[in-house]
């Protein structure tokens, strides 16, 4: 991966359906946010930060925290925080609850975005853009912030305003997310 890519793990969610903070939920012996950060780092992203969440809690996972500029506005606010704070012009932003995320998936998105110089790259699975992992450019920050300023919180809607590259053959299993205790049990029991 190019040296000019930063990483961000979205950790600001309330985790209501999970009943506990997903970012620190241990899966495979590590907190979910740490697992995702490790993948981003192994893919070449540097630095990798957490966006949102409790700084003291994230510190236990070895992650520095960047604030969400629009608290309570959902993952799009996390994207804004990641883009505002990243030293690199390209940022891979991942939800904290992606236990099967791979280095290859991250690198494929970065490469696809780079090849066509798109604003954003996302995977396309079953015809749906998968926004839980995306490769964003800093130039998309204006569209993100404009949407948030008028109360729009949908990442999908913001993508409609940007030049988006889709990776259509990404294995869906690499992008599964864990929202409930039942999801964790299913993931732990394997395919």
| C-beta of residue 10 within 8 angstroms of C-beta of residue 94 | yes
Query: Residue 1 — very low, low, confident or very high, per pLDDT cuts 50/70/90?
Result: low
Question: DSSP state, 62?
Answer: T
Give me the number of domains the chain comprises: 1
90-95 and 26-27 beta bridge pairing:
unpaired
Give the full edge-to-edge strand order of the sheet including 48-51. 65-66, 48-51, 5-10, 90-95, 128-137, 120-125, 164-167
Beta-carbon contacts of residue 189 (< 8 Å; ≥ 6 apart): none
Predicted pLDDT at 184? 82
Evaluate whether residue 189 is within a structural domain: no
Predicted pLDDT at 17? 64
Evaluate whether residue 191 is within a structural domain: no
Evaluate whether residue 94 is within a structural domain: yes
What is the domain range of residue 130? 5-182
* Prediction pTM value: 0.94
Evaluate whether residue 158 is within a structural domain: yes
Evaluate whether residue 187 is within a structural domain: no
Evaluate whether residue 37 is within a structural domain: yes
Evaluate whether residue 188 is within a structural domain: no
CB neighbour class for 91 (10 Å; exposed up to 12, middle 13-18, buried from 19): buried
CATH number at residue 76: 3.90.550.10
Give per-residue pLDDT as tens, 136-183. Answer: 999 999 999 999 999 999 999 999 999 999 999 888 788 988 888 888
Separation between Cα atoms, residue 9 and residue 164, nearest integer Å: 20
Separation between Cα atoms, residue 169 and residue 82, nearest integer Å: 26
Rounded to 5°, the CA angle 98-146-116 comes to: 60
Evaluate whether residue 143 is within a structural domain: yes
């Amino acid at each position: 991966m190019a040296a000019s890519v930063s990483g961000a793990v979205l950790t600001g969610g309330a985790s209501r359906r999970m009943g506990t903070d997903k970012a620190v939920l241990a899966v495979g012996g590590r907190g979910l946010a740490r697992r995702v950060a490790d993948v981003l780092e192994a893919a070449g992203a540097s630095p990798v930060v957490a966006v949102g969440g409790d700084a003291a809690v994230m510190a236990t996972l070895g992650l520095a925290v960047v604030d969400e500029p629009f608290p309570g506005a959902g993952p799009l606010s996390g994207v804004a925080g990641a883009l505002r704070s990243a030293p690199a012009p390209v940022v891979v932003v991942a939800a904290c609850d992606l236990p099967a995320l791979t280095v290859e998936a991250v690198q494929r998105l970065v490469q696809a975005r780079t090849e066509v110089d798109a604003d954003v790259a996302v995977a396309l699975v079953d015809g749906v853009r998968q926004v839980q992992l995306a490769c964003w450019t800093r130039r998309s920050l204006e569209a993100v912030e404009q949407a948030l300023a008028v109360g729009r919180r949908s990442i999908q809607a913001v993508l409609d305003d940007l030049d988006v590259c889709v990776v259509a053959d990404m294995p869906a299993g690499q992008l599964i997310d864990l929202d409930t205790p039942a999801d964790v049990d299913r993931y732990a029991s394997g395919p």
